[in-house]
Structure 1
Amino acid sequence: MRTLFAPATGSLPRSWRLTRVQTASCGMGGGEEIAAELLAQIQVCQNAADLADRPGDPPAGRAELRSVLAPPYRGRRFVHLAHDHYGRLLGYARLGVYSAFHHELAHGALTVHPAARRHGVGSALLGALAASAKANGRGRLVLDGPRNAATDGFARSWGLHVGGCDLRSRLDLNSAALHAKLATVLPEQRQGRAGNLLPMRWAGACPEYLLDALIDTLDSLHADPDDPGVTPFTEAEVRHRERAAWSAGLREYTACLLDPATGRMAALSTAHTADGMRGEQNETVVVPEYRGRGLAIRVKAYLVSELLTAEPNLRVLDTYNAVSNTRILAVNRSLGFEPVDTHAAWTLAI
């Protein structure tokens, strides 16, 4: 789930106060869980914002919110809160400072209740995010947010620029066309037409005997030997991600195509759900040496097939992909994903 940032429409002015709490520091000596009462306030704020900005989307559940408020990687996550003098939550922002990957970056997002927009709440939260990122030794702040006229104007006023854009696409899991597509793709895979690769899947934590192969495959997507600020995956990082998802209440699923001759994962695709109705498809990776063989659509189809069995009430599956990644967008269209909206990674030098 991507939370939103920036005001869009105005309403009644309110006085408010800004606080900051550290909600977790998992992997660095332990940490505290966000209080149930505060999580309930955040849920009300987020669902009000989604109703205004993303009409038709299912409301965010608490497990889903817990997952975005806890660090997905080893490190710390802070939550900044804007309250009025009655103690009502007008907006919140999260900041991630991680020990893996881009060491100079802090990652954030902010949400403002529709009733509190255009009264400086978003600006104060963004200021708090920037100050917190700087205090934690980071030189750049990256914010996830929707790309529209309101966020463009807000970003310009703060000197933010777009570092990249993702297209959010949605798959209707009850579509007859999807089931027809799966019926054509999966038999080919079972008959070995994916190059004698072995389809495998698991729910939750990766089996120990596949962990090294999983790390190698993830590194082919995330690691960059030419960028010393990007560190490879480790067993500790993978296990942390799994524990964080489990603690939040997410149910995770992974499908892969294994090369039995080498023990390598040629391709993998992952997804999770919090409420059993809406899912999010995460990484889809094809290792460079195996590309050009149609494996992306096969592994994604295999994952979707497993989701339909494991989560029979799942209605939709969302995914985010770079707008420049024409190959994976074509794979998505072939499976039946439809574009929903565009999200930007806004960058601020601090």
Structure 2
Amino acid sequence: MPNQPVEVAPLDPKDDAQWAGYHRVTVDAQLHERPYGDVPTADAFRVSFVRASQSSRTLGWTARLDGAVVGAAMAVFPMADNTHLAFTEVNVTPSARRQGVGRALLAGLDDGLRAAGRHTDLAEVPRPYAADVAGRPVAAGVGFARASGYELAQTEVHFVLQSPLDLDLLDSLQAEVDAQIGDYRIVSWQDRCPDEWVEQACALEEAFIAQAPMGDMDLEPERWSEHRLREKEEVRLSRGQHGLTSVAVAPDGSLAGNTELVLSDATMRGGVFQSGTLVLPSHRGHRLGLALKLANHRQLQAVEPAPRLVHTYSAEENTPMIAVNTRLGFRPVELSDEWQRRTASG
């Protein structure tokens, strides 16, 4: 029997039936054979598509076979900077793979990229972790990315940690920090950045792209303002998420680094996610990375004492951060490749 034609349509996130199919496919695809994968709940995920934002815009597409939604694609368009690219995702329910669904979705997504004037897209593809590089298995998404013209731009390691951490471990690591931190101090908050730190918090957001390993990804510097920071906080709360932040304050009163965890009940598996950690180069050598993460994990355990799985991603080449994560007890469970594609117009 010949393959049925694939019908691709733009996603209307306010259409409950189409949205239910879109989210179901995303969950099926993202959690298939991934014991440590996680996906936002339907209501939390929908916020990204329906809430107006000055910093980004999100569009989606669905693919149907014989009337059933079997594919879901997404493109996130940065609006404040990096307006040459989009962050994309193509999901196909496992039982419908190898029937042209992914290719059809990619064609629809490409129409959206052209309409938005974007010539580059970045797609994240997870694959199993293996200590032997030569023996790492090839995930279905990797083959699809290569066949579709993407090139590997970076590989990150996905680590997990079961919270709460052992208090003896926290105290032991804290003693190491106290011996080297000198006159630096750690300040923590939840959800909303205090007004006194907003300007410097924005500067740290801008520094992250410049300082963190980005491989061959075609990312330009980001521009952060108080409005963008407050919008990020508001969107997070509207999705049922809480941001836990710790910053390092230098002896002169400036911010030397930061870290952030995102706590939420609005994911399918209840994961807590590390958003980012940065110590500015001029302030390194004082155990600030470890100090920041210790403070934030203490903050997490204070607001959420129940067991939660904490996720963090580190570029393979970011050995200092991987060393900090390992000291805390994080263990590698998966690899996450960033694949990049440039169209002819780019």
TM (norm. structure 1) is 0.83
Deviations 1:78-113 (A, max 9, x none): 011112343x32121110111233221111112111
Rounded Cα–Cα distance in structure 1 between residues aligned with 2:226 and 2:324: 30
Cross-structure match for 1:279? 272
Cross-structure match for 2:245? 254
Offset at residue 303 of structure 1 (A): 0.7
Cross-structure match for 1:183? 171
Q: Counterpart of 2:32 in 1: which secondary structure?
A: helix
Which of 314, 339, 345 is matched with 2:332 structurally? 339
Which of 205, 215, 219 is matched with 2:206 structurally? 219
Q: Counterpart of 1:213 in 2: which secondary structure?
A: helix
Rounded Cα–Cα distance in structure 1 between residues aligned with 2:87 and 2:336: 14
- Asked whether the 8 Å contact 1:22–1:77 carries over to 2, the reply is no
Instruction: Describe the shift of the 1:308–1:35 C-alpha distance in structure 2 as closer, same or farther (beyond 3 A).
Output: farther
- Aligned-CA RMSD value: 2.7
Look up the equivalent residue of 1:155 and give its one-letter code: A
Offset at residue 322 of structure 1 (A): 1.1
Rounded Cα–Cα distance in structure 2 between residues aligned with 1:282 and 1:321: 11
Instruction: Describe the shift of the 1:320–1:61 C-alpha distance in structure 2 as closer, same or farther (beyond 3 A).
Output: same
Which of 148, 154, 161 is matched with 1:158 structurally? 148
Instruction: Describe the shift of the 1:247–1:57 C-alpha distance in structure 2 as closer, same or farther (beyond 3 A).
Output: same
- Asked whether the 8 Å contact 1:103–1:138 carries over to 2, the reply is yes
Instruction: Describe the shift of the 1:338–1:71 C-alpha distance in structure 2 as closer, same or farther (beyond 3 A).
Output: farther
Cross-structure match for 1:77? 58
- Asked whether the 8 Å contact 1:278–1:314 carries over to 2, the reply is no
Look up the equivalent residue of 1:138 and give its one-letter code: R
Q: Which structure 1 segments of 5+ residues have no match?
A: 1-11, 24-33
Cross-structure match for 2:282? 289
Which of 85, 96, 99 is matched with 1:119 structurally? 99
Offset at residue 310 of structure 1 (A): 0.8
Rounded Cα–Cα distance in structure 2 between residues aligned with 1:72 and 1:318: 26
Rounded Cα–Cα distance in structure 2 between residues aligned with 1:243 and 1:22: 23
Offset at residue 144 of structure 1 (A): 1.2
- Asked whether the 8 Å contact 1:213–1:263 carries over to 2, the reply is no
Instruction: Describe the shift of the 1:218–1:104 C-alpha distance in structure 2 as closer, same or farther (beyond 3 A).
Output: same
Offset at residue 236 of structure 1 (A): 2.1
**Greater shift after overlay, 126-135 or 41-50?**
41-50
Cross-structure match for 2:163? 173
Rounded Cα–Cα distance in structure 2 between residues aligned with 1:150 and 1:51: 13
Offset at residue 57 of structure 1 (A): 4.6
Rounded Cα–Cα distance in structure 1 between residues aligned with 2:142 and 2:124: 12
Q: Counterpart of 1:92 in 2: which secondary structure?
A: strand
1:239 lines up with 2:230 in the alignment: yes
- Asked whether the 8 Å contact 1:82–1:125 carries over to 2, the reply is yes
Offset at residue 197 of structure 1 (A): 1.9
TM (norm. structure 2) is 0.84
| Aligned residue pairs, count | 322
Q: Which structure 2 segments of 5+ residues have no match?
A: 128-137, 212-217
Deviations 1:196-250 (A, max 9, x none): 22221111121111101211222221258xx994243222221221122122221
Instruction: Describe the shift of the 1:56–1:256 C-alpha distance in structure 2 as closer, same or farther (beyond 3 A).
Output: closer
Q: Counterpart of 1:53 in 2: which secondary structure?
A: coil
Look up the equivalent residue of 1:319 and give its one-letter code: T
Rounded Cα–Cα distance in structure 2 between residues aligned with 1:271 and 1:35: 32
Rounded Cα–Cα distance in structure 2 between residues aligned with 1:192 and 1:36: 56
Offset at residue 73 of structure 1 (A): 6.9
Rounded Cα–Cα distance in structure 2 between residues aligned with 1:36 and 1:210: 41
Query: What is the aligned-residue identity percentage?
Result: 25
Cross-structure match for 2:81? 101
Offset at residue 338 of structure 1 (A): 0.5
Q: Counterpart of 1:42 in 2: which secondary structure?
A: helix
